[in-house]
Structure 1
Amino acid sequence: MDAAAAKYIGAGLAMLGMIGAGVGLGVMFGNYFQGALRNPTAAAQERPMLFLGMALTEALGIFALVIAFLILFS
């Protein structure tokens, strides 16, 4: 196997973390919207935790992207 092919395969596998981030964000926002529709008065209290969870989930996705770029361009 060529070294360039191995880099592409490794970068592709590292990008699987982006799939997890996308699924995590979808589940998180979906559950928030369901809870907000059931109890609209509590939605404002839960919004800061939603944004914190969103930031942490996106950070893991960006970390996977950085690792893929490191594999690809090193």
Structure 2
Amino acid sequence: MGALGAGIAALGAGIGVGMIGSKATESIARQPEASGDIRTAMIITAALIEGAALFAIVVGLLSNG
């Protein structure tokens, strides 16, 4: 059951980072002069999502025992 939870966490993180990338690209296309700020916010948010997903994966795999 823990492996299923870890897989769902990884899937959710992948979807989340993909949505961040698509929305950031759309924002940069609409307002190119703000690309630096948008890119910085995108990287920080993606890192937070990956950290939370890694935590969820580790907890899911450890709860298997």
1:20 is displaced (CA, Å) by 1.1
In structure 2, distance between residues paired with 1:64 and 1:15? 10
Higher-Rg member (1/2): 1
Paired residues for 1:46-57 under 5 Å: 46-57=38-49
Determine whether 1:25 maps to 2:17. Answer: yes
Alpha carbon RMSD of aligned pairs, Å?
A: 1.4
In structure 1, distance between residues paired with 2:63 and 2:3? 6
1:70 is displaced (CA, Å) by 0.7
1:63 is displaced (CA, Å) by 1.0
Unaligned runs of 5+ in 1: 1-8
Q: Name 2:58's counterpart in structure 1.
A: 66
So what's the TM-score if we normalise by structure 1?
A: 0.75
- Percent of residue pairs identical: 29
Number of residues paired by the alignment? 65
Moved over 3 A (4+): none
